[in-house]
Structure 1
């Protein structure tokens, strides 16, 4: 999976594609380029799940923008809602501990403090769920699929997906080191958006590959069950 993901961005006519992706990344502060770039990454997921071996080209820009906006909304929903619930819970528990006072209040406050330590695990859960949701949306071309538990459950609990989530952390770390090295030179700073685009495409390829693998296994299992029943 790692070798496939790292070689994927430079397959086919990759130079023009990387140039466009890097320029969009550089102009992401204008939002519209950011949405177009996100839409392209969704298309990477879509074509990967469909079985394509080469990256998609930058075309049908209107569709890219729409996909990018929808994908951003999905990612925000998965991020904001859990974090909001988490912060409300922690503040309510801490507030209740202060209001109760005494030993009982101290106990409640301690529970709130322990819950506050769970912030990083909550962030990891968000990071873990978002790629699966985006891939479900890309594969089914439906925003509702991103929240369909029946689609997401087998993916989220699969070894393939766990590996696909952990490998990008390694890739991101390597890219971070490369970014620090490049940042010391003017030429390096110019190259940063293109390197980041390469990394994003490689990572999304890994997510799509894992999703496709699990989906194929689930469908084959379902077909086998149905045939046995007949």
Structure 2
């Protein structure tokens, strides 16, 4: 899977043009609109990888790219809302615990209420971290299912998403994507000072989205008995 992912952005007759266009759009993200075109392109990668595509998609049908990008942005927004609600709830509990811990002894030296709330706050903070990590693991699967089905609702199809992300295929793909992002992403970031790194960062994004789409689809198909085992 890793070798397929690393070669994926370089497959096809127009791979160089695709890398150049993707890099230029990445440079122009300060103007916001190019972000949605890039997001739309990543949707195409997820869709292509999940259906067995071997060549990276081209930048074409820009209207469709924009629409797909806006849809993926909407999915990201809804996922972020879940994180925000969790963060707000934990912050409220943690803040109340800290406040009561400070005020408790003065009001009642024998009271342990503040300490209890502080413990609740600490536990809540750990739960928040667990939620963030869980969403970081599950979210790419949500994006992949959205791309496969071309439906925002599919991103929140709990049974399908859970079935896809609780497979060894998806786990391996997710870990590989993280490693690629950390290693190659760091190298590309360092090279960004001479501009060429921007194109490297786009390459890394293509590789990681391919891994997410491929891992989710392979895992889901394997669990449902609809595909042959994947060779890693």
TM-score, normalised with respect to structure 1: 0.86
Counterpart of 2:108 in structure 1 is: none
Q: Give how far 1:135 is off.
A: 0.6
Q: 1:155 aligned to 135, 148, 164, which one? A: 164
Question: Map of 1:39-188 to 2, 5 A cutoff?
Answer: 39-95=40-96, 98-99=99-100, 101=104, 102-183=111-192, 188=193
- Partners in 2 of 1:211 and 1:21 — Cα distance? 24
Q: Give how far 1:96 is off.
A: 5.5
Q: Give how far 1:119 is off.
A: 4.5
Q: How many residues end up aligned between the 2 structures?
A: 217
Q: Is the 8 A contact 2:167 2:220 kept in 1?
A: no
Structure 1 counterpart SS, 2:54:
coil
Distance 1:137 1:104, change over 3 A: same
Moved more, 194-203 or 69-78: 69-78
Distance 1:181 1:163, change over 3 A: same
- Partners in 2 of 1:42 and 1:7 — Cα distance? 19
Note the residue ranges of structure 2 that are not aligned, 5 or more in a row. Answer: 105-110, 227-232
Moved more, 90-99 or 199-208: 90-99
1:202 counterpart = 2:186: no
Counterpart of 1:214 in structure 2 is: 219
Q: Give how far 1:219 is off.
A: 3.4
Q: Is the 8 A contact 1:97 1:107 kept in 2?
A: no
After TM superposition, what 4+ stretches of structure 1 lie above 6 angstroms from structure 2?
none
Distance 1:86 1:22, change over 3 A: same
- Partners in 1 of 2:213 and 2:190 — Cα distance? 30
Q: Is the 8 A contact 2:97 2:115 kept in 1?
A: no
- Partners in 2 of 1:45 and 1:215 — Cα distance? 14
TM-score, normalised with respect to structure 2: 0.86
- Partners in 2 of 1:96 and 1:15 — Cα distance? 56
Distance 1:98 1:177, change over 3 A: closer
Superposition RMSD on alpha carbons, in Å?
A: 2.0
Note the residue ranges of structure 1 that are not aligned, 5 or more in a row. Answer: 222-230
- Partners in 1 of 2:6 and 2:142 — Cα distance? 22
